[in-house]
Amino acid sequence: MEYREPQDFKNRISGVLIVDKPVGMTSHDVVQFVRRGTKINRAGHTGTLDPRASGVLVVLVGPAVRLSEFVSASDKRYQAVIKFGQTTTTYDSEGDITSRRPVDISHEELEEALSEFVGEVEQTPPAYSALKVKGKKAYELARDGKDVQLEPRLITIHSLELLDWDPPEAVVDIQCSSGTYVRSLASDLGERLGAGATLVGLRRTKNGRFGLREAVSLRRLDEAFENGDWYRYLVPAAEALGDWYTVILKVDEIDDVTHGHRILGEAGLEHGLLARAVSEDGELVALVEYDAETNEWQPKKVFSN
């Protein structure tokens, strides 16, 4: 029997696809793939992965795209392959080699150097990045031979674990805040050890609460598009913020929240706390903010009306 989607299905659907992005595709390529397969134009990713990197890419579909700023800010986890003894213009293997140096680094020295980068640290993004400088992308200016000066920023490295050291290459597990450039981390680590370093492999293993276990390959997703049952891979929008404080709304409260009205909260919560407000069946209704002075939840973003 031919499968037919319910009437108005595409207008109502909202959720998250966790994709295992392959090497060679841009994050935008994956979003375009999802748009074509779902026939839903309202889709976007949360956190760019370079074409040479693979792994977890969170794609928001339908009204869930409005969660982008919150999901993008989630912590990330990577497995990086760092090659010591050479540096490049881009800090990865795509760039031109700018120096070669001998590698005389012991396992203990590498472990010690890694420990120095754990915590809140200042990091300068690579010149070959998509950050804007006077309205232009930094990598466009760098390719034109312009001197690109990017301001350092504070990032947080939660942990750095050395998984393997087979000179001149190290495999490192990295847990870090959003906005961390692993290429810059590799370059800084190389300079710290006096040998220089280049990122030669990168796989994102986690984005927020979503890991490789939940990710679907493009091949399997493509088959699901053909079969018409791709939505079985769709994670409810509320789960994108599964680690947030949760407010379960009663039926009458749903109507209040969707019309922008405040509802009574629980005493003792932190002022300004953001929470997801969901219906009793788990559907995301709104994002709300706690006002400690009035003990009320103020709707900030509404997803149902």
pLDDT band at 303 (very low <50, low <70, confident <90, very high): confident
Contact partners, residue 243, CB within 8 Å, separation at least 6 = 208, 209
218-227 helix and 27-38 helix, angle to the nearest 10 degrees: 20
Element housing 35 (H / E): helix 27-38
CATH classification code of 244-302: 2.30.130.10
The count of residues in the chain is: 305
Q: How confident is the model at residue 134 (pLDDT cuts 50, 70, 90)?
A: low
Q: What average pLDDT does the structure give for the chain?
A: 90
All CATH 2.30.130.10 domain ranges of the chain, comma separated, are: 244-302
CA distance linking residue 128 with residue 153, whole number of Å? 16
Marked catalytic residue, from 8, 20, 50, 96? 50
Amino acid present at 207: N
**Pick from 173-177, 183-187, 278-282: least confident:** 278-282
- pLDDT 10s digits, 145-166: 677 777 889 999 999 999 999 9
Place domain 9-74+209-239 in its CATH homologous superfamily: Pseudouridine synthase (3.30.2350.10)
User: 76-207 falls under which CATH superfamily?
Assistant: Pseudouridine synthase (3.30.2350.10)
Where, residue-wise, is CATH 3.30.2350.10 in the chain?
9-74+209-239, 76-207
Half-sphere exposure of 33 (CA within 13 A, CB side): 24
Is 104 among the catalytic positions? no
| 158-192 core/surface letters (b: 16 or more CB in 10 A; e: else) | eebeeeebeebbbebebbbebebbbbbbbbbbbeb
How does pLDDT run across 81-130, given as a tens digit for each residue? 999 999 999 999 988 999 999 999 999 999 999 999 999 999 988 877 77
